[in-house]
A and B are shown apart, each in its own frame.
Chain A
Amino acid sequence: MLQRLLTLLALLMVLLFPVAAAHAGGESESPAPSPSSEPAPRPDGPYVTVRLVDKDNDDAPVAGVTLTVVSEAGEEIASAPTDADGRIIVPIPALGVYTVTLDEATLPDGIELSSSVESEIEVRAILDGANGGLFPIGTQEVTTVSFAERFVTSLTSGIKFGLIVALAALGLSLIFGTTGLTNFAHGELITFGAIMTYVFNRGLGLPVILAGAAAVLVSALFGWVQERGLWRPLRKRGTGLIAMMIVSIGFALLLRNVYQYTIGSSRKSLSQYVSQARTDYGPISLADKELAIIVIASVTIVIACVLLLKTRLGKAMRAVSDNPALSASSGMRVDGVIASVWILGTALTGLSGVLLAINSQVNFLMGFKLLLLVFAAVTLGGLGTIWGALFGSMVIGIMVEVGPLFGVPSSIKEVGALVVLILVLLIRPQGILGRRERIG
């Protein structure tokens, strides 16, 4: 950490000198190495300027790549493509630490990041003028790939993403089915799994696999505590479903800010499996961790489905979800069943967070960003049905990842899924596998 900071400071110093010189010389031309590049206008107040260079190519500037500046509060300040000098200049509202991320999809054709570098840097804005940062990336040539190959690649990552969404969607759908609660805090349950993995891994020093398993257990416990401490008392009070939905919004807001309070707003990596080389399996190339994610998610989903279909508890869950009054009068402990649903649901959701953390990084907003996609998946398949949730998630996952191949702008690839959500509501509101009566 300290070393990173020092490097960053050193870079900053190097970078500040030319900028400061340009300022001292009044409105003189900034020293632009490439004569064709227009000097961008310098904003009045504090601003962040970042230069994107390719360290595998003699620190040549990389142009036309979209960089996004995000404030410490997780708010996106601006995103802009780099100019011919590889530079962006973004005015910032206040001094502080800003994170600059790179949109890999906008890298020039035929070039990809060599996996050893992260696609973001932090810039510390301490001056009321230029706050510079150097963004070194490593690149490697990609041999131009055919459409079919790109399709297979995006399909694979779509399936991976869909499986992660499916775990969360299954959790949401189970809880909705039995309690009728549209839980807007569900995204924060995903984040909970990821943050717990991070805490067990970095804080307590457990290996990632153990940390993930522990995180799933803690998630399940969190679900049980939530049910006993919050949702069951609310049901007993006779709080309406819409009131509970608003309570869940408040809960989401609370959790999200508590997460940010505790772990901060930057993205964190786990200690293992951060970057792995890809292995070729026929037409598909996958890193070991991606393969593991796909296997773990599929096996878990199969086990969960078998559990729901074959065991007594699963039957009870489905019965309660189908007709709570009748199940209560046939002697089921409805509260007990609901508690088990919460435990199972949050464990599955926590697992999706764990897998997401292993797949990329941990951030306090990760679950919130996924929430609408999970909603879309569940609505697409039909609210409250298990098969619907699985089917919807796979469709959403694949659509998000494959969409850019068919012209969906890659910076807003999630939008496609949300548009489908609205269209489904228009044409078949009960979802593709849902039953008519559920929509009321």
Chain B
Amino acid sequence: MTTTPQQRTAPAVQAARPHPQAITSLVLGVAGLTLTAGITSPFAWWKGQQALAAIKDAPDQYRGRALAQIGRVLGILGTVLLVVWLVLGFATDVLPVDVGQVFKTALNQALGPNAIVYALAAIGLNIHFGYTGLLNFGQAGFMAVGAYGLAVSVVILETPFWLGIVAALVAPVVLALVLGFPTLRLRADYLAIATIATAEILRLAFGSVELKDAFGGSNGLTGYASAYQDLNPYGGPLDLGFVEFSQRDLWSVTVGWTLVGLSLLLVWGLMRSPWGRVLRSIREDEDAVRSLGKNVFAYKMQALILGGVFGGLAGLFLALKQASVVPADYSTNITFFAYTALLIGGAARVLGPLAGAVIFWFLIAGLGSFFGQATSGPDPLMPTFIMDDTQASLVRFIVTGLGLMLLMIFRPQGIFGDRREIAIDGR
């Protein structure tokens, strides 16, 4: 690797600069009053307070008092608004938004099958990106081959169900081998481009008209999940008041969280082993590991396969829980959302993917439900010239994009991560 630009532009003497938390506070404050409907405002208040204190302690080191002040004031304003609308929403019928419903939807999604899919995918990415430093942007491809492994074997080849499960777990291994051989020796961004391209090739091929006989075209495949549903021991839906699951979802949730638990246990065990330590050292310094006589390529390949199998498991679970495999489900976005979930929780932490997936879905579903309600009905909370109900469904993705950027800039270690663990650079 030659010199990277940021090394050369780093100033020799640390000049006075705006306190980072002042900027964070300002950003959170603005976000609180606009996109996130108050949720970030208390944090803006808190960060602003911290920044002001830090600037007061070292006035010659930091600038940005004004920024921190503005951030704090916006934060206070937003917090007041947040409290007001929470009280109004919970206690009265004045607001057209049922806040209890918003929280229920959010919690349902955070504990439901969708969060499980993302948790499994993110566990795989954690092995790739968090522990080994491999930039796999094609997790959607691994998920797709997992799902199609099951569906094609059962529906098209008419094999028994359990053989389909085996196929779903073998297919990602094959994909990892095919993908790994050309790209694992290359620099990280090449792997990123190659994997994202492979995932797109797979999605387009699975959805193509010409291969409709083998993969069902863009309508996908159905009719393989009856064996899975027959195993369902539950007799009826579950309603705990704050969450409720249908009979089918209840079964999926049971199977899914068990899978997540076992996977996390496996990752925990592996990463404490010598094998796991070699992976981490590859992430830190590949050449040093090579000089100790380890076969870096083989270790990377094993990591790619293992993470890919978790991706395949995610796809398999998605295929089982919704009883249909549709190529549109395996677009590039799912990879990036899984990355977002991983980075929220914290990469290179065993529980990071789990926490991240739950929080990600809580926020996504909560925002979706809130803005959905705020824009529907005869007299919506949000004027239609600002936002109609189609636009309301986009707000959460705008927030996701913004969140991913801010997370990577200000807190790349996520909520629970350790900054030293995730000292990623352009390797």
Q: Residues on A close to B: CB < 8 A?
A: 66, 68, 72-73, 75-81, 90, 96, 106, 178-180, 182, 234-243, 245-247, 249-258, 260-261, 264-265, 323-325, 328, 334-335, 338, 372, 375-376, 379, 383, 409, 411-412, 414-415, 418-419, 421-422, 425-426, 429, 437, 439-440
Contacts and interface: CB of A to CB of B under 8 A. Distances in A.
Nearest to A81: B209
Interface in B379-427: 390-391, 393-395, 397-398, 400-409, 412, 423-427
A40 to B, nearest CB: 12
Given A76-B207, A429-B190, A253 B397 contact: yes
B403 A182 contact: no
A412 B205 contact: yes
B273 interface: no
A421 B194 CA distance: 7
Interface string B313-331: 0000000000000011001
B211 to A, nearest CB: 8
Contacts of A422: 182, 194, 197-198, 201
A250 B408 contact: yes
Nearest to A369: B200
Given A242-B426, A409-B209, A179 B5 contact: yes
B302 interface: no
Which DSSP category, helix, strand, loop or mixed, fits chain A's interface? Answer: helix
Contacts of B181: 426
A257 B401 contact: yes
26 contacts: A73-B393, A77-B218, A80-B219, A81-B209, A242-B425, A242-B426, A243-B412, A246-B339, A247-B405, A247-B408, A247-B409, A250-B340, A253-B401, A254-B401, A254-B405, A260-B394, A264-B390, A324-B3, A411-B208, A412-B210, A414-B204, A418-B201, A425-B183, A425-B190, A425-B194, A440-B186
A250 B200 contact: no
Contacts of A414: 204
Given A249-B336, A251-B401, A241 B194 contact: no
B425 A72 contact: no
Interface residues of B, number: 70
A45 to B, nearest CB: 13
A242 B133 CA distance: 10
Q: Which of B2, B135, B186, B405 has the most chain A CB within a 10 Å cutoff?
A: B405
B295 to A, nearest CB: 19
B291 interface: no
A68 B328 CA distance: 12
A76 B206 CA distance: 13
B8 interface: yes
Contacts of A256: 401
B193 A254 contact: no
Contact of B398 (A178, A258, A421, A426): A258
Contacts of B339: 246, 249
Nearest to B9: A235
Given A76-B218, A257-B394, A235 B405 contact: no
A412 B208 CA distance: 7
Contacts of B1: 440
For the complex of A and B, the 6 pairs showing the least CB-CB separation, nearest first, are A241-B426, A254-B401, A250-B404, A253-B401, A250-B405, A426-B182
B189 A245 contact: yes
B96 interface: no
Contact of A334 (B9, B189, B192, B424): B9
Contacts of A238: 6, 10
Nearest to A427: B182
Contact of B394 (A80, A261, A323): A261
Contacts of A106: 209
B89 interface: no
